[in-house]
Amino acid sequence: MNYQESKQILEEINKAKRILLNCHRGPDPDSIGSALAMYHILKKIRKDVVIVCPSEQLYDNVSFLKGYRKIKKNVNFLKFDYSDYDLFIALDSSDPQMITRSSEIPLPKIPLIVLDHHITNPGYGDINLIDPKASSVGEILYWIFRDWDIEIDKSVADCLMTAIIGDTGAFRFNNVTPKTFKVVGNLMKIGADKDRIIFQIYHSEGFDLLKFYAEVLSRMQIDNIGNFVWSSIPFEIYDQLTDESKSNEKAASVFAQKVKDTEFGLVMVETEKNKLGVSFRSRTGFDTSKIAVELGGGGHVYASGANVEGVPFDKAVEKVLGVVRKHVRKYQKTNSQGN
């Protein structure tokens, strides 16, 4: 048994008739791949399953995955009818706000299972399987399915591989372990198309997004005292160049970890008026998740994010940089004392 919770989770699933799955707001490959993998497995055991997402846009780079079109987009959790469901499985969602899109919208009052790998997850479910050592929820699901002794076919293998490749940066991040490669190897044996997935996620960007990257670079600044780089894009610029919903995350992944002699980087993009998306990427192991949590977000040491809403662009940027510099000072003080 890879996870002691696996048996209890399966027991709850077997008792349920209609099951709700989620993709978190602004879903990434791990969110979508994990939800679709679980969807296909639950359909195999003849469960009625629905996947919901609060965002209007998904992540079209992974639209080749089987079942992608079945994800219900732009779901209003305040108006959604939960009466037909008797189990909710929350995937890759570090807190309830990632599920419903707002801290003011409560989760449905039905049994809740949380499957996640974010170290910032407080365990808000009735059953919580949280493994911060796993590269992705996709990796966790592989071992859960093994615990259930359920066959993984090519469609499920592609979904799990997509989740893992998306959250490891195609195996570049330090969350990759020998166990991760064992899973990847087994998925490839089943038929998962690693090369196609990497091509779709990392080598299939729109021309407008590349022009947006140029703007991010032209606005990039370095804080030599804090040893980090940052860039900020107001809505007026974003709106002219791209409507890519994950532009800040993609730009951060491309540029924020590359500058010599820095600890980390961040990209801030105002994707709606008075709504600033912030993505952090660590270069050296500086824990960016602590900054993200203080800003109302979450994530991992090397990749995290948050949203600052209801504040004008300049004020929002100023707020983020203030929190960043506070954490940098604390980090530098701790390191100097340690030496």
Confidence of residue 148 (pLDDT cuts 50, 70, 90): very high
Confidence of residue 104 (pLDDT cuts 50, 70, 90): confident
Q: Specify whether the CB–CB gap between 216 and 267 falls below 8 A.
A: yes
State both tokens at 212.
């947006």
**pLDDT at 339 (0 to 100):** 56
Q: For residue range 252-294, list pLDDT tens digits in order.
A: 999 999 999 999 999 999 999 999 999 999 999 999 999 999 9
Closest CA to 300 of 28, 106, 65: 28
DSSP 210: H
Residues 6+ apart with CB under 8 A from 206: 242, 244
Domains of the chain with bracketed CATH: 5-202 (3.90.1640.10), 207-338 (3.10.310.30)
Q: What is the mean pLDDT of residues 18-43?
A: 97
Q: Specify whether the CB–CB gap between 136 and 163 falls below 8 A.
A: yes
**C-alpha distances in Å from residue 152, one per residue of 116, 168, 264:** 20, 21, 38
d(CA 61, CA 209): 13
Residues 6+ apart with CB under 8 A from 256: 229, 264, 265, 266, 267, 279, 280, 281, 283
Quote the mean pLDDT of the chain: 95
Burial 164-179, CB ≥16 within 10 A → b, else e: bbbbbbeeebebbeee
Q: For residue range 163-198, list pLDDT tens digits in order.
A: 999 999 999 888 999 999 999 999 999 999 999 999
Instruction: Order across the sheet with 275-282: list the strands.
Output: 221-223, 228-233, 264-272, 275-282, 303-309, 298-299
Q: For residue range 212-247, list pLDDT tens digits in order.
A: 999 999 999 999 999 999 999 999 999 998 877 678
**C-alpha distances in Å from residue 150, one per residue of 11, 49, 142, 147, 209:** 14, 17, 10, 8, 40
